[in-house]
A and B are shown apart, each in its own frame.
Chain A
Amino acid sequence: MAQAALIDPSHPPEQSTAPRPAAVEIAGVTKTFQRRTGGTHLALAPIDLAVADGEFVSILGPSGCGKSTLLYIVGGFVPPSTGAVTVGGRPVTGPGPDRGPVFQEFALFPWKTVLGNVAYGPRQAGASKADAETKARGLLARVGLSAYETFYPKELSGGMKQRVAIARTLAYDPAILLMDEPFGALDAHTRLKLQNDLLALWERDRKTVLFVTHAVDEAVYLSDRIVVMSRQPGRIKEIVPVDLPRPRHRDELLLDARYQRYVIDIERLIEDPPEEAGA
């Protein structure tokens, strides 16, 4: 029911997300880096954010605002300096198969074929080689790369690599997808295509998605809510619920005045000179 409410444009997103359990709870998370020259650098000021189950949340901000660091902290790859992240009610102490990352750099295993990359997760979970490969073939079919299973990643285009990376992550069926500027390294055409495919995928599975990006149009197109961050130190400037109907279609959306309004407003929000905050 909660998901149906999300599609219904007449309901403000606050109402539709409020009753659902929090999938990710970020409470008072900060990150301080030691400077090589001595001293410290506050990369993330205290961040509080709750992401509902099945919600698509983008984290948007200029480079250096700590948006990727925040994602890595949720992933358990980087520990927070203070504060805590809970996922499904359990505190995050390290990476786990409940949170699947997708990186801008793809991070595919170069020594494994496409099939081997996607089968990696199921293999690690203890599936037999045959079962893991069956599962991997199913996922490769979903991302349209069945013909490429014997290829090495280096033989693929950027868009194909990212499809493989997404399939590799989906192969261990994480409840939450952590996407770190996943389409940032792709050309404009491929980027649009993968956005559409990701939306179709998400509309089918309704996984919780945390999506880091610096592209405003991408964030508005994909998200239920947009967390706008500012720099020095990285902190949440504003959280913008995106009240646009789903399923979304780019051609309709581009003509939609509300979509245009969101893009313009958020661009302005980012352009504003960041207020100086005491570190």
Chain B
Amino acid sequence: MIRAWRSDALVGILPLAALVALWWGIVAAGLAPRALLPSPVAVFGRTLASVADPAFLLHAWATLSRLFAGFLVALVLGVGLGLAGATNRFVGGVLRPVVRILAPVPKIALYPAFVLSLGFGDASKIVLVVADALFPILLATYQGAARVEPKLVWSALAAGTSRRAAVWTVVLPATLPSILTGSRIGLVVACIVVFLAEMITSTDGLGYLLVRAARSFQTVEMFVPLIAISALGLALNGALAALRRRLLAGFPNED
């Protein structure tokens, strides 16, 4: 088991290493002007230095807190609406057309409107994260809940559980695999979108750091927030995968 995991991790690291090697090769061969493409050594060195820099950590924390706030609201809303839509005919009837219309809308296009109504602070960015992370979670929850084996619910109802209680004690746990799949997508989307929002208008956060560095042609500093956000995404994904293993211990193994 552990050996398999190790070899999986190894296989996953190889293309990353190849990418960095390619980057280093381009720089070493002088194929790209050093002012535009700094060497990976400089970038990773600066990234490591930044991790010890309190000012940088404050920016990272700003990004992370927005990401978490938005993701958690999206999770609660998405799971709640998805469950309600799948288990209540009226809610489902109202929800389906609304979701069909709103899901394909590029939420980033709504960001100027959010900024105008909510200001430049955290609120507009969090709302944007919610708007983008909500739909993958909602759709996955809805489809998962709609496909719960009816006999699971019947078994609960026959045991004397009310229909309302069966939603919490049966439909929700039975939908957990779908919810976690949707959350995984929602989390990646949240990483992307919080960074974008910070690039557009912000005075802090990793996205802001990137734009600030770009405007002053500090190419090394420009790459640091990128590496930071991808490391953050990797860590969050890993945490979610660990949570998944724990929560889904009893479910049939996926592939």
A154-B250 in contact (CB<8A): yes
A101-B155 in contact (CB<8A): yes
**A113-B149 contact, Cβ under 8 Å, with A95-B158, A124-B160, A169-B158:** no
How far apart sit A97 and B173, CA to CA, in the bound complex (Å)?
Answer: 22
Give the interface size class of chain B: 20 to 34
Q: Which of B222-255 contact A (CB under 8 A)?
A: 247-252
**A99-B149 contact, Cβ under 8 Å, with A110-B250, A124-B169, A152-B249:** no
Query: A120 on the interface (CB 8 Å rule)?
Result: yes
Residue of B nearest to A103 (CB): B151
How far apart sit A56 and B158, CA to CA, in the bound complex (Å)?
Answer: 20
A120-B159 in contact (CB<8A): yes
Chain B residue contacts of A183, Cβ below 8 A: none
- On chain A, the number of residues with a Cβ less than 8 Å from chain B's Cβ atoms is 31
Query: B170 on the interface (CB 8 Å rule)?
Result: yes
A121-B173 in contact (CB<8A): no
**Per-residue 0/1 for B127-168: is the Cβ within 8 Å of any A Cβ (1 yes, 0 no)?**
000000000000000000000011110111111110001000
**Per-residue 0/1 for B78-92: is the Cβ within 8 Å of any A Cβ (1 yes, 0 no)?**
000000000000000
B158-A111 in contact (CB<8A): no
Which label, helix, strand, loop or mixed, suits the secondary structure of the B interface? Answer: helix
Query: A112 on the interface (CB 8 Å rule)?
Result: yes
Residue of B nearest to A104 (CB): B151
**Shortest Cβ gap from B158 to chain A (Å):** 5
A125-B176 in contact (CB<8A): no
**Per-residue 0/1 for A161-193: is the Cβ within 8 Å of any B Cβ (1 yes, 0 no)?**
000000011011010000000000000000000
Query: A105 on the interface (CB 8 Å rule)?
Result: yes
**A124-B165 contact, Cβ under 8 Å, with A107-B149, A109-B173, A169-B158:** yes
Tally of contacts, chain A with chain B, CB under 8 A: 80
**Shortest Cβ gap from B172 to chain A (Å):** 10
**Per-residue 0/1 for A99-136: is the Cβ within 8 Å of any B Cβ (1 yes, 0 no)?**
11101010101111100000011001100000000000
Partner of A154, one of B159, B174, B252: B252
Query: A75 on the interface (CB 8 Å rule)?
Result: yes
**A172-B160 contact, Cβ under 8 Å, with A75-B154, A105-B149, A154-B251:** yes
Query: A153 on the interface (CB 8 Å rule)?
Result: yes
Residue of A nearest to B161 (CB): A124
Chain B residue contacts of A274, Cβ below 8 A: none
Chain B residue contacts of A76, Cβ below 8 A: 157
How far apart sit A152 and B252, CA to CA, in the bound complex (Å)?
Answer: 10
Chain A residue contacts of B247, Cβ below 8 A: 111
**A168-B173 contact, Cβ under 8 Å, with A110-B251, A111-B250:** no
Residue of A75, A99, A111 most packed against chain B (CB within 10 A): A111
How far apart sit A173 and B169, CA to CA, in the bound complex (Å)?
Answer: 20
Query: A77 on the interface (CB 8 Å rule)?
Result: yes
How far apart sit A172 and B160, CA to CA, in the bound complex (Å)?
Answer: 8
B151-A97 in contact (CB<8A): no
B154-A105 in contact (CB<8A): no
**A95-B176 contact, Cβ under 8 Å, with A110-B251, A112-B250:** no
Residue of A nearest to B150 (CB): A77
**Shortest Cβ gap from B148 to chain A (Å):** 11
How far apart sit A168 and B161, CA to CA, in the bound complex (Å)?
Answer: 14
Query: A96 on the interface (CB 8 Å rule)?
Result: yes
**A124-B154 contact, Cβ under 8 Å, with A110-B252, A111-B176, A112-B250:** no
Additional 7 contacts, C-beta under 8 A, given A107-B155, A109-B174, A171-B159: A96-B160, A97-B160, A111-B251, A120-B159, A152-B249, A168-B155, A169-B155
Pick the 3 closest A-B CB pairs, nearest first. A152-B250, A95-B157, A107-B151
Give me 27 A-to-B residue pairs in the complex whose CB atoms sit less than 8 angstroms apart, sorted by A's number: A75-B154, A77-B157, A95-B157, A96-B160, A99-B158, A101-B151, A101-B154, A101-B155, A103-B155, A105-B149, A107-B155, A109-B170, A109-B173, A109-B174, A110-B174, A110-B251, A110-B252, A111-B176, A111-B248, A112-B250, A120-B159, A120-B169, A121-B160, A152-B250, A153-B250, A168-B159, A169-B158
